[in-house]
Homo-oligomer: A and B are copies of this chain.
Amino acid sequence: MGLVMVQSFAQSSQEPKLLRTLRGQRQERPAIWLMRQAGRHLPEYRELRARHPSFMEFCYAPQAAAEATLQPLRRYPLDAAILFSDILVIPDALGVPVRFAEGEGPRLEPVTTAEELARLNPDGLETRLSPVYEALQLVRAALEPDQTMLGFAGAPWTLATYMVQGRGGDREMARKFGFQHPEILAAMLDLLAECVARHLAAQLDAGAHAVQIFESWAEDLSEEAFQDWVIGPIRKAVTRLRELRPGAAVIGFPRGASHRTGLFARETGVNCVGMDIGADLAAARAAVGPDVCLQGNLDPMCLVAGGPALDRATDRILAAAASGPHVFNLGHGVVPGTPIEHVSHLVGRVTGR
């Protein structure tokens, strides 16, 4: 028995720290990465981005996307790289062209009828998204052995809100659509769950150690809608992904649904649940039990503010993180105005480096 435990530790210790945490191993100090750690808060990113007028073309340029992914790791001793890409590459690859209007967010041709849905073609998904996987390979080759490579995708409901509405925003149109046309939405979510699984499998093939599913719009859903539009489709995507890649480690981030953390963990089968800014870590730990990993949940505006409020909030999360496997992160993405020295300070406080 003692021997088995030693072997098990020796084997798993060859995986990078953050991946081990996702698999349920509590660490001496939490692993850390930050949502949107790559991007506009870095001057070197703004310079790189300025050379690529179209945001989607930037995402599809392997060298540029790889470079953007690696930039924050040169500045901060983070435990993971997350591929620089966008959740909307899936609708884009399905034949719903996505464009980013300056200061306006993404715009898509809305998909709201069974006919429009039937025209979407998932066949060549991995071929059309091959530049994404190429970027991921470049990044993985540049990582240290203890750094974790993360891939990601948007969750089916989040992607569907953009496809139905043709844009982001308050999701009111998407919810109305779901109440009026449950069967069209269900078919769209099925298609997207399959695409999410395949896109994540291809990222694991290209070198990702684990993947995150971003359910950015899990808030404002009744129990029934949450079950039908969030839980069911994510469970399908995770189940299908593990058929394609047995043992795949998955983080699910249902933003705005921290009151359903236990349900979400149980029913989707993810290894780790991302906590949003407002989540209570102790309640979440009680809800998921000792083995499921939690991730989060510093307020990005606290990181902008810095000073004593940042240290206090960081230490509170570190204290709560001691109760089980935990990946330190923000509760939402790094915002553009975040001072670099605040990020350095935070990562130093968490890692001791």
Residues of chain A having any CB pair with chain B under 8 Å: 172, 175-176, 179-180, 182, 219-226, 256-260, 276-280, 283, 297, 299-302, 304-305, 307, 309-310, 312-313, 316, 331-332, 335
Contact = CB atoms under 8 A, between A and B. Distances in A.
A278 B220 contact: yes
A301 B179 contact: yes
Nearest to A177: B305
A279 B299 CA distance: 22
B219 A219 contact: yes
A256 B218 CA distance: 12
B280 A175 contact: no
B256 A219 contact: yes
Given A299-B222, A313-B222, A280 B259 contact: yes
A301 B297 CA distance: 30
A257 to B, nearest CB: 7
Contacts of A312: 224
B179 A302 contact: yes
Nearest to A181: B305
Contacts of A335: 172
Nearest to A310: B179
A180 B309 contact: yes
When all copies of this chain in the complex are counted, the total is 2
Contacts of A219: 219, 256, 278
Q: Is the interface of A mostly helix, strand, loop or mixed?
A: helix
B176 A301 contact: yes
Contact of A220 (B222, B299, B307): B299
Contacts of A226: 278
A179 B309 contact: yes
Contacts of A256: 219, 256, 278
Contact of A224 (B180, B224, B225, B316): B316
Contacts of A283: 259
Q: Closest 5 A-B residue pairs measured CB to CB?
A: A179-B305, A259-B259, A179-B309, A175-B301, A176-B301
Contacts of A300: 172
Given A175-B301, A176-B304, A179-B301, A277 B309 contact: no
B259 A299 contact: no
Please indicate which of the listed interface residues A172, A222, A300 has the most CB atoms of chain B within 10 Å of its own CB. Answer: A222
Please indicate which of the listed interface residues A259, A276, A283 has the most CB atoms of chain B within 10 Å of its own CB. Answer: A259
A11 B300 CA distance: 53
12 contacts: A175-B299, A179-B310, A219-B256, A219-B278, A220-B331, A222-B299, A224-B312, A224-B313, A225-B299, A226-B278, A259-B259, A259-B283
Contacts of A180: 305, 307, 309
A222 B301 CA distance: 11
Contact of A257 (B221, B224, B278, B305): B278
A221 B277 contact: yes
A182 B305 CA distance: 11
A50 B220 CA distance: 32
A220 B276 contact: yes
A219 B176 CA distance: 23
Contacts of A260: 280
A56 to B, nearest CB: 24
A224 to B, nearest CB: 7
Given A226-B278, A257-B278, A278-B257, A176 B305 contact: yes
